[in-house]
Amino acid sequence: MNLIFLGPPGAGKGTHAEMLSKSMRLSHLAAGDILRRNIREGTALGMQARDIMARGELVPDTLVNNMMFAEIRELRAKGAKGFILDGYPRTIVQAQELDKFLASEKMTLSAAINFDASEEVVVARLSGRRLCPVDGKIYHVKNMPPRKEGVCDCHGQPLVTRKDDQPDTIRKRLAVYHESTKPLIEYYAKNDLLRNVPADGDAPAVQKLLEKLFETIR
Ligand code: AMP
């Protein structure tokens, strides 16, 4: 099964992709995580992406497309069962190029799941989001707190806030979402791949809805 997770930042795409990748044994490819890894490792791509990401803007389509195609090819070579693309595609051009790439690799998409979350909920989620600096595991100060306040459960490291989760940058990322990414809902609806999941609830509630939805996707 090859899935796309769509939705605004803070809709829960990363959290649910992480859970489902384990239970359904799918590979989780999160464009933002891969870009952040490139920044940590100081690659040429990371250097190009760093300031753009800190401003909450989108990294150019060609760079992100090439990065994601290389990841998908690598998964394929390893014989992966399927994937969840999280935060990719984010523009119509990316979606069109992805379609061409998958066709050339004789692969197909099973569904594009739209995490339908309200602005109020996503702002609250993003501003309370904290990360483990070692593996990027996601916490939330209220909704998903670590066992010990401010410290990661697995590595005992102080949790960090993403630079782009500051209030001004959150507003910028939401504006970018409305302008560039939201039109993908229509794009995948036309291709008959769109599935909507109400995503304002807490993680266990949304997870239940997703499991139900997956019974209808093959
Ligand atoms: P995320 O972790 O999904 O919230 O992404 C963090 C940032 O990475 C975004 O605000 C963009 O700057 C960049 N990014 C992630 N995915 C993409 C994409 N598909 N296209 C362009 N930029 C992206």
Looking at residue 217, its pLDDT comes to 87
> Which residues have CB under 6 Å of ligand 1?
9, 31-32, 35, 52-53, 56-59, 64, 87-90, 94, 164, 173
* Distance from Cα 59 to the centre of ligand 1, integer Å: 7
What does the pLDDT look like over 91-108, one tens digit per residue? 999 999 999 999 999 999
Residue 185 belongs to a domain? yes
Residue of 129, 130, 137, 195 marked catalytic: 129
Active site residue 218: no
What does the pLDDT look like over 162-211, one tens digit per residue? 989 998 899 999 999 999 999 999 999 999 999 999 999 999 999 999 99
Please give the structure tokens belonging to residue 164. 């782009």
Active site residue 125: no
Active site residue 162: yes
Contact between residue 66 and residue 183 where contact means Cβ atoms under 8 Å apart = no
What does the pLDDT look like over 9-49, one tens digit per residue? 999 999 999 999 998 999 999 999 999 999 999 999 999 99
Residue 182 belongs to a domain? yes
Residue 61 belongs to a domain? yes
Q: Name the pLDDT band for 137 (thresholds 50, 70, 90).
A: confident
Q: How many domains in the chain?
A: 1
Minimum-distance ligand 1 atom for the alpha carbon of 68: 19
Residue 215 belongs to a domain? no
The protein residue with its alpha carbon nearest to ligand 1, atom 3, reads 32
Looking at residue 194, its pLDDT comes to 98
Active site residue 90: yes
Residue 85 belongs to a domain? yes
Residue 186 belongs to a domain? yes
Q: What is the mean pLDDT of the chain?
A: 95
Residue 209 belongs to a domain? no
Quick one: average pLDDT of 61-65? 98
Residue of 36, 130, 173, 195 marked catalytic: 173
What gap in Å lies between CA 170 and CA 9, rounded to an integer?
Answer: 8
Quick one: average pLDDT of 135-156? 93
Q: Name the pLDDT band for 126 (thresholds 50, 70, 90).
A: very high
* Distance from Cα 32 to the centre of ligand 1, integer Å: 5
CATH number at residue 56: 3.40.50.300
Active site residue 13: yes
Full residue range of the structural domain in which residue 83 is found: 2-204
Looking at residue 96, its pLDDT comes to 98
What gap in Å lies between CA 101 and CA 81, rounded to an integer?
Answer: 18
Closest CA to 5 of 112, 116, 107: 112
Residue 113 belongs to a domain? yes
What gap in Å lies between CA 95 and CA 199, rounded to an integer?
Answer: 23
Looking at residue 136, its pLDDT comes to 85
pTM: 0.92
